[in-house]
Structure 1
Amino acid sequence: MPTAPRTTAAHTPARPSLTERRKAETQLEIARTAAALFAERGPGVTADEIARTAGVALRTFYRYFRTKEDAVAPLLAVGVRQWIDDLAEATARPDAPPTRAALEQAARRALTPTDGPAEEALRWTRGLLRAMPGDPALRAVWHRVHHDSEEELQPVLARLTGADPLDVRLAAAAANTAMRVAVEEWAAGDARADGPHGPAELVARGMRALTAGLPGLDERPDGAGGGNAGPGNG
């Protein structure tokens, strides 16, 4: 779900310039508008409608995005990558749980709405996913964002597990797939986002199933309390 990215104590990136911040804010505002329109009206939405509703000129829209479907990418990217930042932050603490438990806990937090904007973001996501069967380009954006997310997860898992590259890729693919499928399955039904059949419960079930046979995930991160620990459910 779309939330503001957090930074860890170990790595604080340089503050973007004012121009870069304004550009990012404009992109995200257009993305929110596009997501809301797709969720409400489906694939019939046009780039001109998105631009007009967002309060920007059509030429400004095309300065940022190639197509109307590309406009939702910044919002989706913030949502599906947020849990990676949370995972990195949680496993940097001295009391960090084993990686398997940390993955599930971070995924649960990412898909548990804690306020009105988070609930609204999940409603947008549900609407977007329901519009995708009629708009292959929109589905392509969804899968591209998840592919990028999976690649970003790999160095985090490599640091946490010390596993070989193949095992790291498998773990990243399993965790990312659990996130994607949980949201897609929830979006296809009518369950509440904060209920017993919400995306947080679905992702916990998927995470356990898909990572069950992967080695190295029951080790505690280096420097996080020392020693080994058994699997945890979060």
Structure 2
Amino acid sequence: MSTSLTERRKAATQLEIAHAAAELFTEVGPDATTTEAIASRAGVGLRTFYRYFRNKQDAVGPLLAVGGAQWRAGLAATEPGTELPQALRAAVAEALTPADDAAADGLRQTRGLLRAAVDDPALRAVWYRVNQESEEQLRPVLATLMGPDADPLRVRLAAAAATAAIRIALETWSEQDEADVRGPNSPAALALHCLSELLPD
């Protein structure tokens, strides 16, 4: 289904606000960040901000959800007949390995947000909500990949395990100052390790 121009503009505005909020949270912390400052940096009015978001922490939701959307799209494009663990590993590796500087900066921005969330319960709640929504959106993708005879319980468990693997990998990576976006302790490497523990071949 094609996305209308209005919907694309709405999504673009939400993402601009999300980037502005993430920058301020990382620079000065959530406590010192105001909705007015976020709106100003994003180049929108306060009314526009509140049209899309309930509060300042809620504003980063679209940014945190980008990665999940990318790797679900990768899974959906998997060759039919591919074994589930192999498909998950390939999609995760592709989604969490930055293809360019912009993608690398996006991962580093996520790290800044996760660090800020340690002392901000409302920001943590947004992170957990995004993960829960991603898990729910993953189920139909996995159901298609696993075939019409797949046990619904197995589909739900696989979606939960895969989502948890990525969440734990990103949280672990965010705690490590020396870990970069590529290499042995990168988000992709950690997520693949988590997947191997949760969904062995």
Answer whether TM exceeds 0.5 for this pair: yes
After superposition, give the CA deviation of every residue in 1:117-149 in whole Å (9 maximum; x if it has no partner).
111101110000000122111110101011011
RMSD of Structure 2 on Structure 1 (CA): 1.3
Q: Is the 8 A contact 1:42 1:128 kept in 2?
A: no
Which of 188, 193, 201 lines up with 1:200 in the alignment? 188
The answer to whether 1:171 aligns with 2:121 is no
Deviation at 1:76, TM superposition (A): 1.1
The answer to whether 1:70 aligns with 2:55 is no
Partner of 1:110: 95
Higher Rg: 1
Q: Partners in 2 of 1:129 and 1:91 — Cα distance? A: 34
Partner of 1:88: 76
Partner of 1:146: 131
Deviation at 1:19, TM superposition (A): 2.0
| Structure 2 residue ranges without an equivalent (≥5) | none
Partner amino acid for 2:28? Answer: R
Q: Partners in 1 of 2:46 and 2:141 — Cα distance? A: 39
Secondary structure, in 3 states, of the residue corresponding to 2:118? Answer: helix
Equivalences for residues 10-159 of structure 1 within 5 A: 13-14=1-2, 16-44=3-31, 45-92=33-80, 97-159=82-144
Q: Is the 8 A contact 2:76 2:141 kept in 1?
A: yes
Q: Partners in 1 of 2:79 and 2:133 — Cα distance? A: 21
Partner amino acid for 2:102? Answer: P
Q: Is the 8 A contact 1:39 1:126 kept in 2?
A: no
Which of 170, 185, 189 lines up with 2:176 in the alignment? 189
Q: Whose helix proportion is higher, 1 or 2? A: 2
Q: Is the 8 A contact 1:112 1:194 kept in 2?
A: yes
Q: Partners in 1 of 2:82 and 2:51 — Cα distance? A: 44
Question: Which moved further from structure 2: 29-38 or 158-167?
Answer: 158-167
Q: Is the 8 A contact 1:182 1:199 kept in 2?
A: yes
Partner amino acid for 1:165? Answer: P
Query: Structure 1-normalised TM-score?
Result: 0.81
- Count of equivalent residues: 197
Q: Tell me: higher relative CO, structure 1 or 2? Use CA pairs within 8 A at least 6 residues apart.
A: 1
Partner amino acid for 1:75? Answer: L
Identity over aligned pairs, percent: 57
Q: Partners in 2 of 1:19 and 1:193 — Cα distance? A: 34
